[in-house]
Chain A
Amino acid sequence: KNEVEQSPQNLTAQEGEFITINCSYSVGISALHWLQQHPGGGIVSLFMLSSGKKKHGRLIATINIQEKHSSLHITASHPRDSAVYICAVTPFYGGSQGNLIFGKGTKLSVKP
Chain B
Amino acid sequence: NAGVMQNPRHLVRRRGQEARLRCSPMKGHSHVYWYRQLPEEGLKFMVYLQKENIIDESGMPKERFSAEFPKEGPSILRIQQVVRGDSAAYFCASSPNLMAKQFFGPGTRLTVL
Residues of chain A touching chain B, judged by Cβ–Cβ distance below 8 Å, are 30-31, 33, 35, 41-45, 48, 86, 88, 95-105
- Given A35-B104, A42-B104, A96-B55, 16 more A-B residue pairs with CB atoms under 8 Å apart are A31-B99, A41-B106, A41-B109, A42-B106, A44-B104, A45-B104, A86-B43, A96-B48, A96-B98, A98-B48, A98-B56, A99-B56, A99-B59, A100-B45, A102-B35, A104-B41
Contacts of A103 in B (CB 8 A): 42
A-B Cβ contacts below 8 A, count: 61
- Tell me if B102 counts as interface (CB < 8 A to partner A): yes
Main secondary structure of the interface of B (DSSP, over half): strand
Give the distance to chain A from B108, nearest Cβ to Cβ, in Å. 10
Determine the residue in chain B with the shortest Cβ distance to A88: B43
Residues of chain B touching chain A, judged by Cβ–Cβ distance below 8 Å, are 31, 33, 35, 41-45, 48, 55-56, 58-59, 89, 91, 93, 98-104, 106-107, 109
7 pairs across A/B with beta carbons < 8 Å? A31-B99, A33-B102, A35-B104, A45-B103, A96-B56, A98-B55, A100-B43
CA A98 to CA B97, docked complex, whole Å: 10
Contacts of B44 in A (CB 8 A): 102
Give the distance to chain A from B88, nearest Cβ to Cβ, in Å. 11
Determine the residue in chain A with the shortest Cβ distance to B9: A41
